[in-house]
């Protein structure tokens, strides 16, 4: 019988890697290469009858992870890479060649912003970064050479929910591809590929892995594009190690449970912080999906809060330049994710010294709220 629900599919991705011993968990294929019993066997690899040759190209553990995420996104093909960044680069290079043009949302993750504005020109790719808040801005930025639109399904750190339907229609009308970073939403909340979007990318370092113990990326989409991206990864040597693929795959099994709890907690935290007199703004999206609205809450503190004291009074909550682990952590975009941007670029997207991004964990929501409110109360300038 076909598995239809996310909760079932996420733990039952069918892999043939366990056949030899019937092990319940997939073994870690910690090998750089695969051997062949004779030349006919070797030839069978090149004829497509034997799947593995060299782990930089394919490995059972990376394939299992890629297949799991592709299945959750409803995509026919997937590729696991060394990091979210390499997955983004490979996705872009699978579509754009020298002379082509890319239009990207100006509020994407700081590292992606740097990759697009500082590195793509070395590949001969022109870029325009614009606000994607209105479709006209995007349409105005498209020119004859434009081959790709790039954005995030939920932006960082202000959690703007992208108009994926509108962008997809625009991309189709113009005959260009659309690639979406679905890291913050995860396929638990949104499945952009299933909505018709060409390429979906994840920093698997975040919710898919979920335990802050790996760096990895996953790209999913239509087979020919994913295969082009694979060739880039193979040539650039940006493959994922078997052990990290295995860890990420293990983490992915609880993606549904974690996202359910973390989204629930985040909703409660957002509500509580909206009531706090020293929180000027709370950014937390609505109507992302019927399963929830994600697990990141961004706040702008009142100017009466002393930021140095705030970060010294966090109690059991740690400062971490990442998100999506099972523990609640805080990040400071000015000093971390958006450090590479100029002051003007940061101001343009609304990031200032009082903006804090909170990655909500799986703890009891009342404990999270108590710690955060006590931290703010202890940091008020008197």
Q: How far is the CB of 22 from ligand PLP (least distance, A)?
A: 33
Measured from the CB atom, the residue of 142 and 161 that comes closer to ligand PLP is: 161
Footprint of ligand PLP on 185-224 (CB under 6 A): 203, 205, 215, 217
Measured from the CB atom, the residue of 91 and 242 that comes closer to ligand PLP is: 91
**Residue count, binding to ligand PLP (CB under 6 A):** 15
Q: How far is the CB of 310 from ligand PLP (least distance, A)?
A: 22
Q: How many Å apart are CA 289 and CA 285, to the nearest integer?
A: 10
Which two three-digit tokens encode residue 109? 């993750």
Q: How many Å apart are CA 193 and CA 178, to the nearest integer?
A: 10
Q: How far is the CB of 94 from ligand PLP (least distance, A)?
A: 17
In the complex, which residue's CB is closest to ligand PLP? 84
Choice from 156, 191, 265, 331 touching ligand PLP (CB under 6 A): 156
Measured from the CB atom, the residue of 71 and 203 that comes closer to ligand PLP is: 203
Q: Does 150 bind ligand PLP (CB under 6 A)?
A: no
Measured from the CB atom, the residue of 156 and 249 that comes closer to ligand PLP is: 156
Which two three-digit tokens encode residue 155? 């932006």
Strand-pairing partners, residue 355, are 300
Q: How far is the CB of 174 from ligand PLP (least distance, A)?
A: 25
Q: How many Å apart are CA 11 and CA 256, to the nearest integer?
A: 10
Q: How many Å apart are CA 262 and CA 275, to the nearest integer?
A: 20
Q: How far is the CB of 176 from ligand PLP (least distance, A)?
A: 21
Q: How far is the CB of 206 from ligand PLP (least distance, A)?
A: 6
Q: How far is the CB of 291 from ligand PLP (least distance, A)?
A: 19
Q: How far is the CB of 204 from ligand PLP (least distance, A)?
A: 7
Q: How many Å apart are CA 184 and CA 189, to the nearest integer?
A: 9
Q: Does 152 bind ligand PLP (CB under 6 A)?
A: yes
The answer to whether 268 and 224 have CB atoms below 8 angstroms apart is no
Q: How many Å apart are CA 107 and CA 346, to the nearest integer?
A: 9
Choice from 106, 162, 181, 198 touching ligand PLP (CB under 6 A): 181
Footprint of ligand PLP on 237-296 (CB under 6 A): none
Q: How far is the CB of 184 from ligand PLP (least distance, A)?
A: 6
Choice from 183, 212, 263, 331 touching ligand PLP (CB under 6 A): 183
The answer to whether 323 and 186 have CB atoms below 8 angstroms apart is no
260-297: buried (b, 16+ CB within 10 Å) or exposed (e) per residue? bbbbbbbbbbbebbeebebbeebbbbeebeebbbbbbb
* DSSP 8-state class, residue 26: P
Footprint of ligand PLP on 64-123 (CB under 6 A): 83-85, 109, 111-112
Q: How many CB atoms lie within 10 A of CB 19?
A: 8
Binding mask 24-63 for ligand PLP (x = CB under 6 A): ----------------------------------------
Measured from the CB atom, the residue of 71 and 215 that comes closer to ligand PLP is: 215
Footprint of ligand PLP on 323-382 (CB under 6 A): none
Measured from the CB atom, the residue of 299 and 369 that comes closer to ligand PLP is: 299
Which position has the token pair 């040539």?
235
Dihedral angle computed from the Cα positions of residues 41, 222, 88 and 136, in that order, rounded to the nearest 10 degrees: 170
Q: How many Å apart are CA 106 and CA 132, to the nearest integer?
A: 7
Q: How many Å apart are CA 298 and CA 280, to the nearest integer?
A: 11
Burial of 363 per CB tally in 10 Å (0-12, 13-18, 19+): middle
List the 279-283 sheet strands across, edge first. 279-283, 296-301, 355-359, 329-331, 318-319
Q: Considering only the stretches 18-26, 141-149, 176-184, 370-378, report the one whose residues sit in contact with ligand PLP under the rule CB under 6 A.
A: 176-184
Which positions touch ligand PLP (CB under 6 A)? 83-85, 109, 111-112, 152, 156, 181, 183-184, 203, 205, 215, 217
């Amino acid at each position: 019988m076909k598995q239809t629900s996310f909760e079932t599919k996420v733990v039952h991705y069918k892999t043939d890697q366990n056949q030899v011993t019937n092990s319940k968990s997939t073994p870690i294929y910690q090998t750089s290469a695969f051997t062949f019993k004779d030349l006919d066997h070797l030839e069978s690899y090149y004829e497509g009858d034997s799947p593995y040759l060299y782990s930089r190209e394919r490995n059972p553990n990376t394939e299992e992870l890629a297949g799991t995420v592709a299945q959750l996104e409803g995509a026919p093909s997937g590729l696991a890479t060394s990091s979210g960044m390499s997955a983004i680069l490979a996705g872009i290079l699978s579509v754009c060649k020298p002379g082509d043009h890319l239009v990207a949302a100006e509020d994407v993750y700081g590292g992606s912003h740097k990759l697009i504005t500082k590195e793509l020109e070395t590949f001969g790719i022109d870029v325009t970064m614009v606000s994607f808040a209105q479709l006209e801005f995007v349409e105005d930025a498209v020119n004859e050479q434009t081959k790709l639109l790039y954005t995030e399904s939920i932006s960082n750190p202000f959690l703007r929910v992208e108009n994926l339907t509108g962008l997809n229609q625009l991309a189709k009308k113009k005959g260009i591809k659309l690639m979406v970073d679905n890291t913050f939403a995860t396929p638990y909340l949104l499945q952009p590929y299933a909505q018709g979007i060409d390429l979906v990318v994840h920093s698997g370092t975040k919710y898919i892995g979920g335990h802050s113990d790996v760096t990895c990326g996953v790209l999913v989409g239509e087979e020919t594009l994913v295969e082009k991206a694979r060739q880039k990864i193979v040539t650039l040597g940006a493959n994922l190690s078997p052990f990290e693929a295995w860890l990420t795959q293990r983490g992915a099994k609880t993606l549904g449970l974690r996202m359910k709890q973390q989204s629930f907690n985040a909703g409660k935290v957002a509500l509580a912080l909206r009531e706090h007199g020293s929180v000027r703004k709370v950014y937390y999206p609505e109507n992302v999906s019927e399963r929830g609205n994600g697990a990141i809450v961004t706040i702008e503190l009142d100017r009466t809060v002393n930021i140095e004291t705030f970060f010294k009074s966090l109690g059991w909550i740690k400062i971490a330049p990442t998100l999506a682990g099972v523990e609640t952590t805080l990040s400071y975009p000015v000093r971390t994710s958006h450090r590479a941007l100029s002051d003007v670029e940061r101001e343009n997207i609304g990031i200032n010294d009082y903006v804090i991004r909170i990655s909500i964990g799986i703890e009891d929501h009342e404990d999270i709220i108590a710690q955060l409110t006590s931290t703010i109360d202890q940091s008020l300038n008197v």
